[in-house]
Amino acid sequence: MTTLNKVTAAHVAALREITGEKNVLVDEESLDRYAHDETEDLHYLPEVVVKPETTEQVSKIMQLCQRELLPVTPRGGGTGLSGGALAQFGGVLISMEKFNHILDIDERNLQVTTEPGVITEVLQNAVKEKGLFYPPDPSSRGTCFIGGNIAENSGGPKAVKYGVVKDYVLNLEMVLPSGEVIWTGANVLKNATGYNLTQLVVGSEGTLGIVTKIVLKLIPLPKHDLLMLVPFRSAESACAAVSAIFRAGYTPSAMEFMERDALDWVSQFVQSSTVQIPDDIQAHLLIEVDGNYPEVLMQEMEGIAGIVEGFDIGEILFAEDSTQKDELWKLRRRVAEAVKANSVYKEEDTVVPRAELPVLLKGVKDIGRKYGFHSVCYGHAGDGNLHVNIIRGELTEEQWNGTLTEGIREIFQLVKQLNGTISGEHGIGLVQKNYLDIVFDSTSMNIMKQIKQIFDPNNILNRGKIFDC
């Protein structure tokens, strides 16, 4: 592997030449702000942070780093959950925060062209004002960047009905590690023209290039929605209900699962008394339907309620108004923060075919008992995407960074047996790469590594993310 160099004063001066003085940071306090994301307790200091404002500047920075063989780490909002935006090898961290302009909302074609540093929720609200909808929204939507969402192929609660980021990306402008700039596709809904470079880049975790412009498909905004919270006396039966709802022909716009602890902890964390959880309740499903016809939504809610009633549930809470809906969504969206506030934890982003969820959940608990860890599980059950939060609690350093690794491996082996995979929406980044052999054989791994080499022969860009090569 090519040996990369340290950043020198001359490099810093060259970066300042490219982006202007104010967009290059080297003081320790600033560097520290870019040294972590939302993944566990990782900390990697970059040597310099640069904040380009144009595609041309990104290109020049990449040319400099290529020539000087400097490690480059691209970074969005810093909300990642796999360490993808961390400068593991120091070097130059490129923060895309100044690429924060929505360039064109094309109402004629239901498309938006945006820069990658726009906050996802800002983008969603801007198109909403035009009656349009960009569905993928991670829990971090208030702070994450749309560019980061593309790097991780993010999902969020609406994915179950509307799909994930990859289903909305039509075309990307991207700066390659060589500094060359390409567009990956065209602004069209159907494309059978050459290999799908757009889809190769989506989910590639910033290892192939730096995206500088994004063209997204939009859809008409549904006019109405209804929300209900269903308490279950068994977590496994909650998971079983998920599959039953889909088999009955319903496609909810959200179908979120929360174990008892998840809802309990978040209620305390945000000091909410919206939900009172009786002692015998072990899990909840938060179920939303949306569409343009209120009477249809009522029928669907009744149909779904009829199905879940067959699963030993408590009393269903139907959200009465938008305030209560917001309150319930706030609880769901802030579970991760609440867990984090409670303890250091590792989050596994397991995903399986949705009917296998009960088996997965039972397996996770069995493996937890075997290795002595407690887990809090929640996630996008409609997609079969279960976030397994392993709580550090009283585990020793050796257990936490030693034997637990084996426990996680067992969880992922189970996921693989169930025809699932080890990340649904968080990516592999730094923290899951040692498990990638569970789901890919060496032939597939070699193909991926060779693809990386095409784009980045010196491996300067986000080195060590997804895999070593």
Residues between 329 and 368 that touch a second copy (CB under 8 A): 349, 351-356
Binder of a second copy out of 268, 276, 322, 450 (CB under 8 A): 450
Whichever of 31 and 415 has its CB closer to a second copy, that residue is 415
Of these, 13, 182, 298, 341, which contacts a second copy (CB under 8 A)? Answer: 182
List the one residue from 88, 246, 277, 282 that touches a second copy (CB under 8 A): 246
Residue 6 or 223 having the CB closest to a second copy? 223
Write down the H helix ranges in 351-456: 357-371, 397-398, 404-417, 442-455
- Residue numbers 8-67 binding a second copy by CB under 8 A: none
Size of the site for a second copy (CB under 8 A): 90
Q: Which of 422, 430, 431, 461 binds a second copy (CB under 8 A)?
A: 422
Query: What contacts 189, CB < 8 A, 6 or more positions away?
Result: 170, 217
Q: How far is the CB of 337 from a second copy (least distance, A)?
A: 21
Q: Distance between CA atoms of 175 and 201, rounded to whole angstroms?
A: 12
Contacts of 130 (CB under 8 A, 6+ apart): 105, 107
Contacts of 280 (CB under 8 A, 6+ apart): 233, 314
> Which region, judged by CB under 8 A, interacts with a second copy, from 39-47, 244-252, 339-347, 393-401?
244-252
Give 35 or 176: the residue with its C-beta nearer to a second copy: 176
* Residue nearer to a second copy on the CB measure, 219 or 341: 219
What is the DSSP code string of 386-416? EEEEEE-TT--HHIIIIIHHHHHHHHHHHHH
**What single letter denotes the amino acid at residue 128?**
K
Question: Given the complex with a second copy, which of 90 and 384 has the nearer CB atom?
Answer: 384
Q: Which of residues 64-103 bind a second copy (CB under 8 A)?
A: none
- Give, as ranges, the residues between 123 and 152 that touch a second copy (CB under 8 A): 131, 152
Shortest Å distance, C-beta 204 to a second copy: 6
Question: Collapsing DSSP states into helix, strand and coil, what is residue 331?
Answer: helix
Measure the CA–CA gap between 114 and 118, rounded to whole angstroms. 7
Could you tell me the end-to-end alpha-carbon distance of the chain, in angstroms, rounded to an integer?
A: 7
435-439's contacts with Cβ under 8 Å and 24+ in sequence apart are 435/408, 435/409, 436/466, 436/467, 438/409, 438/412, 438/413, 439/412
Smallest separation, CB 245 to a second copy (Å): 11
Of 200, 312, 326, 341, the one binding a second copy (CB under 8 A) is: 200
Site for a second copy in 272-311 (CB under 8 A): 292-293, 296, 299
Among 106, 225, 264, 337, contact with a second copy (rule: CB under 8 A) = 106
Which stretch, 8-16, 88-96, 275-283, 379-387, contacts a second copy (CB under 8 A)?
A: 379-387
Nearest approach, Cβ of residue 423 and a second copy (Å): 4
Of the residues 231, 368, 384, 464, which one makes contact with a second copy according to CB under 8 A = 384
Q: b vs e for 221-231, b when ≥16 Cβ sit within 10 Å of the residue's Cβ?
A: bbeebbbbbbb
Min. distance of Cβ 102 from a second copy in angstroms? 17
436 binds a second copy (CB under 8 A): yes
* Shortest Å, Cβ 431 to a second copy: 13
Instruction: Give the pair of three-digit tokens for residue 8.
Output: 């020198």
Nearer to a second copy, 284 or 380 (CB): 380
Q: Do 111 and 217 touch, CB atoms closer than 8 A?
A: yes
Residues in the chain: 469
Residue 378 and residue 262: Cα distance in Å, rounded?
7
> Per-residue contact track with a second copy, 204 to 243, x per CB under 8 A?
x--------------xxx---------------------x
Point out which residues pair with 345 in neighbouring strands.
Answer: 391
Beta strands in 138-191 (DSSP E): 169-175, 181-183
Minimum CB distance to a second copy smaller for 95 or for 204: 204
Q: Which runs of E-coded beta strand occur in 238-343?
A: 254-259, 283-291, 317-318
Nearer to a second copy, 30 or 421 (CB): 421
In what helix (H) or strand (E) does residue 214 lie, and over which residues does it extend? strand 210-217
Query: Within 10 A of 2 (CB to CB), how many other CB atoms are there?
Result: 10
CB of 32 to a second copy, least distance (A): 28
Of 1, 9, 22, 108, which one interacts with a second copy (CB under 8 A)? 108
Q: Choose the stretch contacting a second copy; rule: CB under 8 A; options: 56-64, 86-94, 277-285, 417-425.
A: 417-425
Q: Which of 42, 110, 305, 344 binds a second copy (CB under 8 A)?
A: 110
CA dihedral sign, ordered 85, 182, 91, 400: positive
In the complex with a second copy, the residue whose CB is nearer, 199 or 403, is 199
